[in-house]
Structure 1
Amino acid sequence: MHGSRSAAIAACTAFLLAIAGCGTSDTPEENTANPVRLYGSDGNMINSFGDQFKDQAGLLAGMKGTTPMTPLSDDFKKRLRSVDQDLGDFVYAGESYDAVVISSLAAELAGSTSPGEIAKYINGVTTEGERCDTPKACLDLARAGRDIEYRGVSLKRGGFTDAGEPSTASYATMHFDSSDRLDDGKTEFVGAGDEATTTTKQAPAPRPTEGRDQAETGAPLKIGGLLPQTGDLALANPPLAAGSALAIRDVNAAGGVLGQPVEWVDGDDGTNPEKAKETVASHVAAGVHVIIGAGASGISRAVLPDVVKAGLILFSPCNTDAGLSEVDDQGLYFRTAPSDLLQGKALADVIMRDGSQQIAIVARKDSYGEGLQGNVRAELEKAGIDAGNLKLLTYDPPEDPAAPLDFGEGANQIRDFKADAVLVIGYGESANVIKALVAAGVELRQ
């Protein structure tokens, strides 16, 4: 998500938009092309996205797409629901859980809550040590001064790269059914990435805390949230919040970090740079050491200079913008979500398997949307799709989340292009793209 899935994924999405009629012509031309296959990314392949089609029930039937996701155990889902009994989606729940756990383990190994010291250990937590897969087992090893190799919920194969992100990932191919809900029975998982890109740099040796008092370690560890409680990405917030809360609970049940319970300081990124900056400033004032977020890649780009200036860690569970691998972060930015270079390949593969040849790619105009759009385009061209058979469109999300997105002109262009496939990369507002297609006379394949 991200980028900002979400492209965020994504799609990592108040998608509480007041849906009004999209601006289209009064008498759209009849679409003479074949029915169009509809695709999405992590920012909109989520059950709550389907809630926006209650006035056009079944419109999403047959839509398919990808999202970074590891198969989650029934036990993990049950424990997430013990945090949020109404939880309907699990996208990025594992990634948010792991972001909190890895941060906690790094602090324990560092013997300090200093963000600069914690950052030195984060990549090493995932490589070249005794393998462990629960907070308790890993914390026990860390307290004993042992190197660890954490393999938790989302991190199953390779560890982190030098850039502080997963070297490998798992993607789920998901399908909406006739009730505009994701059909779990059709979900398929595929691996991506290369374990050979896992960092080979050695982390510093563990620093045991025995004999050191609280003043020396800086405990308790304070972790702040910078998650999309409001704004365009808000529909993706429940699993992110549940995963983070469960991780805090599990770490503290295992004895906490540096002899103290970890403290969680809640915070909203608003899917808005200014709101996110306010939250970061509040976290700095509250003495937070690690910030979990932001939800959208573009929001992380906006706040990262403030976070780095304050010397804190920014650790996102759902940023996917490939460009963030190269960002100047002073070694303080990490993510458990994989780069969209990997999702671009997964999405292109899904589209090509269906035999589509005339493809429109509609993207939210930000680093997530345009980044993933470019990655998918490149992969489709590598697969043999001629550039002339690809149509790229972007849209500016409304500044007011309650305002409907007008995609009428773009929908007319797609109709005239006679696309046989449309990929929509966006968050909750992208529901209006799909509604505009229908209003323009584009027939969706059910």
Structure 2
Amino acid sequence: MLVSRGSRVATLAACATFLLATSACGTDKPEETTAQQARLYGTDGNMLNTFPAELKDRADLVDGMKGTTPLTPLPEDFKNRLRSVDPKLTDYLYAAETYDAVAISALAAQLAGSTDPAAIARQIVGVTNGGQRCEDMATCLSLARNGQDIEYRSVSLTRAGFTDAGEPATASYATLHFDGQQINDAKTEFVGAGEENAASTKTPPKGRKQPTGAADREDGSPLVIGGLLPKTGDLALAYPPMAAAAGLAIKEINAAGGVLGDPVTWIDGDDGTSPTVAKATVASHIEAGVDVIIGAGGSGISLEVLPDVVKAGRILFSPSNTDDGLTTAEDKGLYFRTAPPDSLQGRALADVILRDGSQRIAIVARKDSYGEGLQAVVKAELEKAGITTDRLKLLTYDPPEAPSDPPVNFSDGATQIKDFGADAVLVIGFAESAQVIRALADAGVQIRH
């Protein structure tokens, strides 16, 4: 649990220091006041080893940047298994959540004894709560084939299962630090959030025991799962770990005998970090008979495609959506996520900022449900801790809708932040937020390293 932050808010005394310099003609006059330094903070969309490359020749601007991301301490065995799928992997953001989203979908289908999305959906929450605890695919699938109620625990689900709304009741966050243009793992700190008693206690439908012998085609097998992950667009820097995790889950499910007597089929798909691209992918998946769609990457994209998915009676299961609004979205029980909502991340972020004694805080967010939603949560948490409204500045920017669009122009906002005298700047965005950081430096904001 997070500790109280009110006691940590340091009272900083502001004092102007003037240096006297003697000119050539012997006249003393004060130099300009020492510039205020601002520390940078980020979130799950930009706290990645691949992010500094977005700044190109100014990648050193990220050094000293801190931020949070949903992340549990990952076992080396899991990292090694991921690298067996993608040897070039350098980040693990949402890898655990992606693996678990695919695994839970497969286990729910096995217990349902059917690939019917509605039947699978009725089992998903129950797969993570109550029943016989299991922690690897072979064991979990064996229990599910016998119709045994299970409690799945794995890399992202360690403390508690899903709530009635189909999202994690608890979460683990990591505080990350950039040093030398990469995340310094030695400085990573983990903190828990959420309440275990928020997990669902509802009894799921009784699991169906799988008949012995040949596959029963009346169950609709094979199970078909489709990807709706950000291969392109502003969130593409997070794609490699998510893709590796999905590939690993499919590989291990099928190595354990598959689902309903058949190997699970995976159909790749791009959300493009774009509603237009994502909608086209969803339509293609529906046409191809996909039962469960894993994605989208961004919360705003999921909100755009959810009506299409629900209308088609399919499941949308995201490993990385954090917008609080998705908890109560009209989904007819067909939307799930393994990523925790922003109500939990907002507390962790505010705690990190306050521990540094920041007193004048600017929060810059991309203008969408993810950015503005998390911005509002962080603001509320900071105000609860005693940061008054006059010491907070909120700004947003429009992210590019397509790769061909002009880059983000944040020059006016950067000037406002400089004039505000911020000693902390939180940037909530994806790859495009690099343009915000460049603009801050160009405006003369002294970034603390």
- Normalising by structure 2, what TM-score? 0.91
Contact 2:215-2:261 at 8 Å conserved across structures? no
Alignment of 1:29-40 (within 5 A): 33-40=35-42
State how far apart, in whole Å, the 1-side matches of 2:344 and 2:383 are: 16
Name 1:329's counterpart in structure 2. 331
Task: Note if contact 1:102-1:122 (Cα within 8 Å) is conserved in structure 2.
Answer: yes
Amino acid at match of 1:152: S
Q: Percent identity?
A: 67
Question: Is residue 360 of structure 2 the alignment partner of residue 374 of structure 1?
Answer: no
**Which residue of structure 2 lines up, in the alignment, with residue 163 of structure 1?**
165
SS of equivalent residue, structure 1 residue 176: strand
Please give the residue correspondences for 1:72-87 in structure 2 after superposition, counting only pairs within 5 Å. 72-87=74-89
AA partner of residue 130 (structure 2): E
Q: Shift of residue 425 of structure 1?
A: 0.1
Q: Which runs of 5+ in 1 are unaligned?
A: 1-29
Unaligned runs of 5+ in 2: 1-31
Correspondence list, 1:190-201, <5 A: 190-201=191-202
Q: 2:409 aligns with which of 406, 410, 415?
A: 406
In 1, the alpha carbon distance for the partners of 2:238 and 2:34 equals 36
* Structure ID, larger Rg: 2
Task: Trace 1:266-281 onto structure 2 (pairs within 5 A).
Answer: 266-281=268-283
Could you tell me which residue of structure 2 aligns to residue 445 of structure 1?
448
Kindly indicate whether residue 254 of structure 2 is the aligned counterpart of residue 246 of structure 1.
no
CA RMSD of superposed structures (Å): 1.1
Worse overlay, 393-402 or 215-224: 393-402
Counterpart secondary structure, 2:73: coil
- Cα deviation for residue 33 of structure 1 reads 4.5
Q: CA contact under 8 A between 2:147 and 2:210: conserved in structure 1?
A: no
Instruction: Give 1:17's aligned residue.
Output: none
Distance 1:32 1:391 in 2: 22
Distance in 1 of aligned mates of 2:210 and 2:380: 50
Letter in 2 for 1:440: A
CA distance in 2, matches of 1:214, 1:146: 19
Q: Tell whether 2:235 aligns with 1:233.
A: yes
1:428 pairs, out of 403, 427, 431, with 431
Rounded to whole Å, the distance in 2 between the matches of 1:32 and 1:356 is 18
Report the counterpart of residue 175 of structure 1 in structure 2: 177
From 200, 222, 225, the equivalent of 2:224 is: 222
2:203 corresponds to which residue? 202
Which structure has more RCO (C-alpha within 8 Å, separation ≥ 6)?
1
Cα distance, 1:32 vs. partner?
5.2
Corresponding letter in the other structure for 1:200:
T
**What amino acid is the match of 1:111?**
G
Contact 1:31/1:415, CA 8 A, preserved across alignment? no
- Cα pair 1:36 1:442 within 8 Å, conserved: yes
Q: Secondary structure at the match of 2:227?
A: strand
> What is the one-letter code of the residue matched to 2:401?
E
Distance of 1:31 and 1:167 partners within structure 2: 49
Distance 2:431 2:272 in 1: 14
- The Cα of 1:52 is off from its aligned counterpart by 1.8
Q: Deviations over 1:15-64 (max 9, x none)?
A: xxxxxxxxxxxxxxx88542101100000000110112331242111100
Measure, in 1, the Cα distance between the counterparts of 2:33 and 2:368.
30
Number of paired residues? 416
Equivalent residues in 2 for 1:4-19, closer than 5 Å: none
Kept in 2, the 8 Å contact 1:298–1:366? The answer is yes
* Matched position secondary structure for 2:123: helix
CA distance in 2, matches of 1:393, 1:311: 38
TM-superposed deviation, 1:394: 0.2
Take 1:56 and 1:116, find their aligned partners in 2: how far apart are those partners? 50
Q: In structure 2, what is the Cα distance between the partners aligned to 1:282 and 1:128?
A: 36
Distance in 2 separating the partners of 1:84 and 1:215: 34
Q: TM-score, normalised by structure 1?
A: 0.92
Aligned pairs for 1:37-436 (under 5 A) are 37-177=39-179, 179-210=180-211, 213-402=215-404, 403-436=406-439
CA distance in structure 2 between the partners assigned to 1:287 and 1:404 by the alignment: 37
- Secondary structure of the equivalent of 1:58? helix
Contact 2:60/2:181 (CA < 8 Å) preserved in 1?
yes
Q: In 2, Cα distance between the equivalents of 1:363 and 1:323?
A: 17
**Maintained 8 Å contact 1:81/1:87:** yes
Q: Deviations over 1:82-141 (max 9, x none)?
A: 111111100000000000000000000000000000000000000011110111110011
- Quote the Cα distance in structure 2 between the aligned partners of 1:137 and 1:215: 24
CA contact (8 A) 2:274 2:401 kept: no
Q: For the structure 1 residues 251 and 395, does the alpha-carbon distance in structure 2 shift closer, same or farther, using more than 3 Å as the test?
A: same
**Structure 1 ranges of 4+ moved more than 6 A:** none
Counterpart code for 1:172? A
